[in-house]
Structure 1
Amino acid sequence: MPVARGTKAQSTKQPRASKAPSVTENVPPQKDEGCQAKRSPSSPQGGPKKRSAFGDITNAHKNQAVTGKKEGVKAPTNKATRAPTAPTVAKNNEINLKKSLKKTPPAEVPVEHEKDSVPEEPVQQVPVVEDIDKEQLGDPYANAEYAKEIFDYMREREDKFLLPDYMEKQPDISRDMRAILVDWMVEVQENFELNHETLYLAVKLVDHYLVEVASMRDKLQLIGSTAVLIASKFEERCPPCVDDFLYICDDAYKREELIAMETSILRTLNFDINIPIPYRFLRRFAKCARASMETLTLARFLCEMTLQEYDYVRERPSKLAASSLLLALIMKNLGGWTPTLEYYSGYCAQDLHPLVKRLNFLLTYQPCDKLKAVRTKYSHRVFFEVAKMTPMDMMKLEEKLKS
């Protein structure tokens, strides 16, 4: 129809009037609700989107000449072949569009959103885990991209270095002798200003060597000093020399004996001395908890107290570090075990409760008053005097662990 196409009603951006006669002849008039019933939330255009819904409605009116209830009743058969003018079609389409929008149930859109949100419900219930390495991704020396894999690998290596109850096989060494040796090694670490990793690794080397070799008590100090020498070479930038270790032993051993013991320890352990230690895990977990230096020092004190105790030899280093940090957080009223700590440590709070109670008992009742190297060390103000903190009451600790 050239007359309909040339009219100004095309500015309404509605369907062309030339298509109206054929549609009117073939399709009976229907109500607006029928148009809405044919809509499906699963349409390719996306039901919830406003622009897609607008397109669906206009396309539906393309194929149906819906002009309201009155027009459907009044339309005679002999007038059906007459093509309505373009202004009339445009006006009717505009009226029908407004009616259909008004008649659209307001509950349709929330229902569609509700259906969409069904698979998202479990996602909302999952606790948020913080990415603790993202801040150091730009530092090439931090290796933040591989930090998670490195500590997962260390967790796997824990199975290889689990210690048995070896003291029964030692004919001339007791638990008390081992405690005295470790107390002396703590003093050596302080005098030489060695890293804490060096101390922890040296104690591990002593334990793993005594698992394989039965030693006499007169060689125990030689084993301890040699273990500190090996750990220093592994951890320190500038390790002490052999003469320094001979000096701290008060020249009780000769240079040849120290070198021979170093060879014996390395061969016994097959030169595999990269043993997981609690201190590395402790620093990692403290980073997850955003713990302050004072809180970390308190956890270090709790963890270092276990070095002298033979009962903690068979504990996993990662679990010991996690329990020390959890007890420190409770003592400082800083909350409990967060989802981030659970994700990076691999332990839930219930897994740590028995060990936390044992650590608090160790802090409250020190077995031997003569072994004071660790307490004296952490009573200094450099270490925030954390050794002077009052231990938790066992009943209060039990309540906090349950809460």
Structure 2
Amino acid sequence: MTAPASAAPRPGDLEPRPGHGSRRWRVALLGLGGASLLAGLDAALVALGVWAPVPAAHLPGVHGMVMVLGFMGTLISLERAQALRQPWAYLAPALLGSGGITLAAGLPVLGQLLLVQGAAAFLAVYLALWRRAPLPLVAVQVLSTIPALAAAALWFRVDLAALIPLLAAFLVLTIAAERAELAQLALGPRAVPILLVLSAWVTGAAASALVWPDAGARLLGAGLLATAAWLARDDVARRMVRTTTGLRRYNGAALLAGYAWLAVAGLVWLVGGAPGSDAAYDVVIHTTFLGFGVSMVMAHAPIIFPAVLGRPLPYRPILWLPLALLHGGLLFRVVGDALGRGALWQGGSVVTVVSLLVFAASAAWCVVRA
């Protein structure tokens, strides 16, 4: 997500821009990401062993890719296509969203092919943005899509569990690069050199984890921990959370909570290496993609969604509810993992699913009220 958390949408951002897709098409592409989200949440409920609307047995096996590339990949690539303002750029979110839905529908080979094509189109979008502005920060954004493309392509032959470091590198580098782009004044002149070092470290560590799982995981953990510490120290979130303005405080809280969960993921990888138990695997996945990734989505929704929807999504206090449910449920889930699963783990997991549904409903309500 690429709008500064401290800024309000500009009037021009709320209107459809000519020549690069109408509001209706953008909303339809956003709907593909939303459908992937619903499918991924249904898959999570099936994996938890609780009631699910569609109790298909294949869903838990595709849950990770549906959520990371089908949902988050669609949202991020849609916003980047909006920035490029070229009709072909919308192929990236269209292919990624379609891939997520196809996987959920039980067509694995077609779904995997669509994800590979979508990740390749996403890389092309970033390359076009880099040609427009050949800056180091944009180069890091280009680099961030390479692990996503590699993970989608390798999934034909490699188990999904082994590809988690690549997917984590994609998400973390994408968000870190765009936070650095948006908050350069707050992060200071050292932001770009620091980000370049961290991006090279995280990418190399994620790649090495394919060959040397334990050593690569520890290197990745160190990189994620350093990234979280850097963002928490230098980003504007600490100042924003101390303000009395609703949107600024909400954004600051969501950012800081996300950085804290990223630090937890990095620490678990650094200390434990490649996850050797279901509990450790569960912790690193959900602290990275839920605690960090989804918290970033919630933080920027009032800023980014208006540019995509063509309608304002004003901040309302109700947005605190899904944010609290997300982090509270994830805390119960992690504690449950430490205690050997059980009712606490299952209950916390269900709460995180509910948090995303409440967030979608709250965002829709804010749009309607606007």
TM-score normalized with structure 1 length: 0.25
Question: Quick check: which one's helix share is greater?
Answer: 2
Larger Rg, first or second structure (1 or 2): 1
TM-score normalized with structure 2 length: 0.26
